[in-house]
A = this chain, B = another copy of it.
Amino acid sequence: MVELNTNTGIVETKHFTFANPPTGLLLESGKSLGPITLAYETYGKLNLQKSNAVLVLHALSGDAHAAGFHNGDKHPGWWDPLIGPEKGIDTNKYFVICSNVIGGCRGSTGPSSTNPRTNRPYGIDFPIVTIGDMVNAQKHLIDHLGIEKLLTVTGGSMGGMQVLEWMVTYPDRIHSAIPIATTMKHTPQQIAFNEVGRQSIMADPNWKRGDYYGSSTPTKGLAVARMVGHITYMSDVSMAEKFGRRFKTSKEPSKFGAEFEVEGYLQYRGNNFVKRFDANSYLYITKAIDYFNILNGKKLSDIFKGLDAKVLVIAFKSDWLYPPYQSREITKACKLAGVDATYCEVNSTYGHDAFLLEVEEETHLIAHFLRRISNHN
């Protein structure tokens, strides 16, 4: 019996620095930012023709560590079930790049980075960044890696917004695209959930208008922000299946302490999050998401005009944060522009989290799509 080796093994995050001052990178706001460091990881080998590169983009709280294990870690990267040898994005065939975003706090330049003009952390002196700025920075990374045209670019949620931005801004640099569980623009309800998170952070007295580095950090506010997020990532049904109305086995003795399992879960997730995420980055990244509007006054039929790439749009039935109608709208915009687009709605109860959890369906859809694209290039 032959056992397949599907393990990516030990990986390391790399860093690429560019856009040195005084020029820097011109942002959509008109301000410039530099130097910029992007954290990224790669899995598999770039072929000689440099034609097998897949760019993977992450969601709000994700990072460059999509697959394999960091030395000493128990848990693999956030999309490990989908990326690796013989997996949905097969690293025996494809060279996978996962790039972090500017504005973040996971190795790339963001509000917690040192401002070269003051030698202190930027805090909220960091300029506003957009999804477009994030993608412009990634384009520099792809140039640096010597890749003329990506085989595909994919990602879910905010990662999907970056995919749409690649489709619009760098159509000549991609053979195909797979936006997952995402939207062409944030609705007021989606903005509202992000705004609650921001208000919660800014209500924390430790926030100090973003100038908290080196002292107590606004962990309580950030934890509440994350709790709100988690509710929107799950569904009514998945919460009912996971928690029901069960009480925790050990009730906290304090009044109004976590009592129901769902309360304990949210607190646990909130308290864990603050150990790995910077509150200011949460403000900047949610703002970038809220500003995102690929339509930007254009007609639906004009958005993807001239795009010569195949597109696979994936949505999940129970996703109420980025409901399927928003993915159908992306597909419609593609069709109106004559783009070869396929829409797949996965019948999942996991809510928005499905893009991380419905591995079997995604493996099937993405592996098949990539085979089709590879055969044409």
- In the bound complex, how far is the Cα of B187 from the Cα of A243, in angstroms? 9
Residues of B within 8 A of A186 (CB): 245
DSSP class of A's interface residues: helix, strand, loop or mixed? Answer: helix
- Interface positions, chain A 202-246, Cβ under 8 Å from B, are 202-205, 220-221, 223-224, 227-228, 230-231, 234-236, 239-240, 242-245
Q: How far is the CB of A184 from chain B (nearest CB, A)?
A: 11
A223 / chain B contacts, CB cutoff of 8 Å: 199, 203
| Complex alpha-carbon distance, A198 and B234, angstroms | 20
How many A residues touch B, CB cutoff 8 Å?
52
Q: A215: shortest Cβ distance to chain B, in Å?
A: 15
Are A198 and B124 closer than 8 Å at their CB atoms?
no
Please tell me which stretch of A94-102, A167-175, A260-268 contacts chain B, meaning at least 4 of its Cβ atoms lie within 8 angstroms of it: A260-268
- Using known A-B contacts A200-B224, A220-B203, determine if residue A245 contacts B293 with beta carbons closer than 8 Å: yes
Q: List 29 A-B contacts (CB under 8 A).
A: A124-B255, A187-B236, A187-B245, A188-B240, A188-B244, A188-B245, A188-B260, A189-B235, A189-B239, A189-B240, A191-B245, A191-B260, A191-B262, A192-B230, A192-B262, A193-B231, A195-B227, A195-B260, A195-B263, A196-B228, A199-B223, A199-B224, A199-B270, A202-B256, A203-B223, A205-B205, A224-B224, A256-B283, A260-B290
